[in-house]
Structure formats: structure tokens, C-alpha cells
């Protein structure tokens, strides 16, 4: 069973979103997603200053087998992409909700409807059927 921390928000495309004390947000991919992708060997994070819209591909994660887009969960401006992932993409597999964060964003609009942990868990359970 994959981990779904209750203090985060989620998307249907398997990203998570954490609101930090200063109001900025941190974004990554879920434990379910990293498990489905398998061993990750390359990550392309967005550059600082880029503005993104919800649903826009803003990062790429590549397993040995395939490349997958990661979609921005909210409207925002990228503060920074996680610089540690270039040298250690496997962190996305081992610590998807911690060291495996992909980018920090400053919100430019109120977030749309995101899933709660319970709703996301229900979604992944349905997909498994």
C-alpha cells in the first residue's frame, strides 16, 4: 500500500502539493506514482521564474523505460526547482514526499479543486481495480 500523507493535497495526475508556513507551495509526485514509474534515472525540474498554469507539463521524470510529464497542480511562479535531483534522481523513489520535492512555487491564483488524502487514496484504489 502506498503512503498518502494526510497533510497534503493531491491531483488526479498523481502530484502532491504542500503549503509551507510562508504561503508558498512545494510540489512533487506521489508514492503511488514513483512506484508505478519504477527506478527513476533522470529528472528535469522547472527553472526559477517560469510561470505555470494548472495542468501544464512543468517537469519530466524518466525511468529506465520511459519519460513521463509532471503537471503543475496550481497557477504559480517557480521559485526554484530541486537542485539535488540532478545528481540523485533516485531520491524521488526513496523519499517522494521529502527530499524528492520537484519545485517550490509562489501562487499567482487561488488553487483550484484539489483532492484530499482520502479522496486521492480512493482514486488510486479505483485505478488498481
Partner 1 sequence: MGRRTPLFTVHASAGARIVEFGGWDMPLHYGSLLAEHHAVRRSAGVFDVSHMCIIDLEGAETRALLRMLFANDVGKLTIPGKALYGCLLNERGGVIDDLIVYYLGERWFRAVVNAATRAKDLQWIRQHAAGFGVKVTERADLAMLAVQGPEARERVAALLSGAGAARALALEAFCGAEIDGWFVARTGYTGEEGFEVMLPGEQAQSLWRALTAAGVAPCGLGARDTLRLEAGMNLYGQDMDEHTSPLESGLAWTVAMSPDRAFIGREALEAQRARGVERKLVGLVLQERGVLRAHQRVIAAGTGEGEITSGSYSPTLERSIALARVPTPTRGPVQVEVRGKLLDARVVKPPFVRHGKSLIG
Which of 5, 10, 20, 21 shows the shortest CA–CA distance to 95? 5
- What is the chain's length? 129
What 3-state class would DSSP assign to 104? strand
Of the candidate residues 12, 47, 55, 67, the single one contacting partner 1 (CB under 8 A): 67
Contact at 8 Å (CB) between 85 and 45?
Answer: yes
Least distance to partner 1 from the beta carbon of 15, Å? 19
Of the candidate residues 56, 62, 95, 119, the single one contacting partner 1 (CB under 8 A): 62
Binding residues for partner 1, how many (CB under 8 A)?
13
**Residues within window 13-42 making contact with partner 1, judged by CB under 8 A:** 38-39, 41-42
Contact at 8 Å (CB) between 90 and 109?
Answer: no
**Binding-site ranges for partner 1 (CB under 8 A):** 38-39, 41-42, 44, 60, 62-67, 86
Amino acid at each position: 500500500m502506498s503512503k498518502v500523507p494526510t497533510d497534503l493535497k493531491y491531483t488526479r495526475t498523481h502530484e502532491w502539493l504542500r503549503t509551507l508556513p510562508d504561503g508558498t507551495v512545494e510540489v512533487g509526485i506521489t508514492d503511488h506514482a514513483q512506484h508505478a514509474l519504477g527506478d527513476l534515472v533522470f529528472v528535469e525540474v522547472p527553472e526559477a521564474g517560469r510561470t505555470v498554469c494548472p495542468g501544464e507539463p512543468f517537469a519530466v521524470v524518466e525511468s529506465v523505460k520511459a519519460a513521463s510529464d509532471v503537471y503543475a497542480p496550481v497557477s504559480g511562479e517557480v521559485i526554484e526547482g530541486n537542485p539535488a535531483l540532478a545528481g540523485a534522481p533516485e531520491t524521488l523513489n526513496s523519499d517522494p514526499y521529502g527530499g524528492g520535492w520537484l519545485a517550490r512555487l509562489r501562487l499567482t491564483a487561488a488553487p483550484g479543486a484539489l483532492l484530499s488524502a482520502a479522496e486521492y487514496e480512493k482514486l488510486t484504489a479505483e485505478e488498481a481495480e
